[in-house]
């Protein structure tokens, strides 16, 4: 597996590095999503399902027979109907669940509702993210990009696991039946995580003003936190009751996508950005295939800690891969989550 160190430390270098990576044919895909990769009878929880990659992944998975729980912050009825229509001939279905990733109590309320219903999630996909044009403080007192991109996915996975909504022995003692597939967590990260040269845990509560120009390196830092957390979670869930993972945790960078991620770019730059994305970036539909692969492929059953760029296996940065960093980040986030739990109760 190649270890790459790319410069993603400004908007333009990040864009060019992404396009170059996309066009690079020296490292071919190791597998592909096949028609027989079906999701019949399985429930998928997918955040950020109202736009771009998440919306496309919701359609792809429902067309493979999945029941998709579309977790969205807004009332995305139009998108819901389209996902339902896409899945209906293939036995797929969809439901809209509202949650704001910038609000911990909203995530806890979502998991409460899932637990109350007795839901069992087979695949949880953490996809929602934001690139704000400036620093904003959430109701929980953190910078919004850090909270939405890193803290919220960690809390959501934690709660789904602790409450046994994702069946598991490690945290809930309600692991899957021997004849069921291993539950999966899929984390949408980014190669931009390589731009951050340290976790800088001490910056957790620091909120400094930034503009669109500084948003890319900050975004890379939030994705470093996310990927480091995902690696640690995979380590914690690596051993179930048998010799298989209790829950598999795999991550990917979907590559550059013609999505709405740059929605907060200045209005004058929007038409240019849209044209540029349309010409050089992948469609959300294409970008969703590796996400659907990690959710659906039977050929990776039992594999955990995969990190992919599209359909190429890669090693994450040494910082994201370090078990020491993973433990430190885990402990830091556990403190926050326990504190917010007390306030929520
Ligand atoms: N675009 C790229 O080139 C690229 C490259 C590498 C990785 N990625 C990753 O791919 C994933 C999908 O991004 P995308 O490109 O599809 O962007 P997108 O079109 O902007 O979609 C982002 C999704 O996240 C949701 N979201 C944002 N803030 C939220 C909040 N506070 N609570 C709940 N949901 C929230 C959005 O909801 P609304 O519809 O309500 O806004 C939307 O559904 C992200 O993890 C991103 O980091 C993207």
Residue 256 in contact with ligand 1 by CB distance below 6 A = yes
pLDDT of 181 > 50? The answer is yes
Q: Ligand 1 in contact with 257 (CB < 6 A)?
A: yes
> Measured from the CA of 191, which atom of ligand 1 is nearest?
6
Is the predicted pLDDT of residue 169 greater than 70, yes or no?
Answer: yes
Whole-number mean pLDDT of the chain?
Answer: 94
Q: Whose CA is nearest to atom 3 of ligand 1?
A: 256
Q: How confident is the model at residue 7 (pLDDT cuts 50, 70, 90)?
A: low
Phi, then psi, of 209 in degrees rounded to 5: -60, 140
- Measured from the CB, is residue 11 less than 6 Å from ligand 1? no
Question: What would the pLDDT profile of 231-272 be if each residue is shown by its tens digit?
Answer: 999 999 999 888 899 999 999 999 999 999 988 888 888 888
How does DSSP assign 184-247, residue by residue? EEEEE--GGGGG-S---GGGTT------HHHHHHHHHHHHHHHHHHHHHHHHHTS--SSSS-SS
Percentage of the chain beyond pLDDT 90 is 80
**Residue 248 and residue 182 in contact, taking contact as beta carbons nearer than 8 Å:** yes
Mean pLDDT of 326-343: 93
* Distance in Å, CA 169 to ligand 1 centroid: 31
Please report the atom of ligand 1 found closest to the CA of residue 256.
3
Q: Delineate the domains of the chain, giving CATH numbers in brackets.
A: 30-344 (3.40.50.720)
Count CB neighbours of 52 within 10 A: 22
Of the candidate ranges 92-101, 172-181, 199-208, 305-314, the one whose mean pLDDT is the lowest? 172-181
The one-character DSSP state at 282 is B
Ligand 1 pocket member 148 (CB < 6 A) = yes
For residue 6, is pLDDT > 60? Answer: no
Measured from the CB, is residue 101 less than 6 Å from ligand 1? yes
Residue 278: is its pLDDT beyond 50? yes
pTM higher than the cut 0.75: yes
| Nearest atom in ligand 1 to 100's CA | 32
Q: Per residue in 25-76, pLDDT tens? A: 888 899 999 999 999 999 999 999 999 999 999 999 999 999 999 999 999 9
Of all residues in the chain, the percent with pLDDT exceeding 70 is 97
Read off the pLDDT band of 9 (50, 70, 90): low
- Long-range pairs for 19-24 at CB < 8 Å and ≥24 separation? 19/256, 19/280, 19/281, 21/191, 21/255, 21/309, 22/255, 22/256, 22/281, 22/282, 22/310
C-alpha span between 124 and 114 (Å, rounded)? 13
- Residue 162 tokens read as 């602790």
The pLDDT assigned to 1 comes to 32
Please compute the mean of the pLDDT values over residues 278-282 and round it to a whole number: 92
């Amino acid at each position: 597996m190649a270890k790459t160190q790319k410069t993603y430390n400004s908007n333009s270098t990040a864009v060019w590095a992404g396009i170059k990576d996309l066009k690079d044919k020296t490292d071919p895909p190791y597998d592909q999503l096949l028609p027989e990769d079906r999701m019949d009878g399985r429930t998928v929880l997918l955040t950020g399902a109202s736009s771009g990659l998440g919306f496309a992944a919701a359609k792809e998975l429902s067309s493979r027979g999945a029941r998709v729980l579309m977790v969205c912050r807004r009332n995305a009825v139009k998108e819901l109907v389209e996902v339902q229509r896409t899945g209906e001939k293939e036995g797929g279905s969809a439901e809209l669940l509202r949650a704001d990733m910038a609000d911990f109590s909203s995530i806890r309320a979502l998991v409460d509702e899932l637990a109350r219903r007795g839901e069992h999630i087979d695949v949880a996909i953490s996809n929602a993210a934001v690139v704000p044009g400036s620093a904003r403080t959430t109701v929980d007192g953190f910078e919004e990009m850090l909270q939405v991109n890193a803290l919220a996915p960690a809390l959501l996975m934690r709660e789904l696991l602790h409450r046994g909504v994702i069946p598991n022995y490690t945290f809930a003692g309600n692991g899957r039946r021997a004849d069921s597939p291993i539950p999966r967590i899929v984390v949408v990260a980014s190669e931009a995580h390589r731009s951050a040269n340290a976790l800088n845990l001490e910056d957790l509560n620091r909120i400094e003003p930034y503009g669109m120009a500084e948003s890319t390196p900050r975004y890379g830092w939030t994705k470093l936190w996310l990927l480091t957390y995902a690696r640690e979670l995979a380590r914690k869930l690596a051993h179930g009751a048998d010799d298989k993972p209790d829950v598999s945790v795999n991550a990917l960078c979907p590559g550059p996508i013609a999505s709405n991620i740059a929605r907060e770019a200045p209005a004058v730059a929007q038409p240019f950005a849209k044209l540029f994305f349309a010409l050089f970036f992948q469609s959300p539909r294409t970008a969703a295939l590796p996400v659907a692969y990690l959710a659906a492929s039977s050929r990776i059953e039992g594999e955990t800690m995969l990190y992919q760029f599209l359909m190429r296996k890669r090693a994450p940065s040494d910082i994201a891969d370090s078990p020491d960093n993973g433990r430190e980040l885990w402990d830091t986030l556990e403190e926050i989550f326990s504190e917010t739990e007390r306030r929520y109760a």
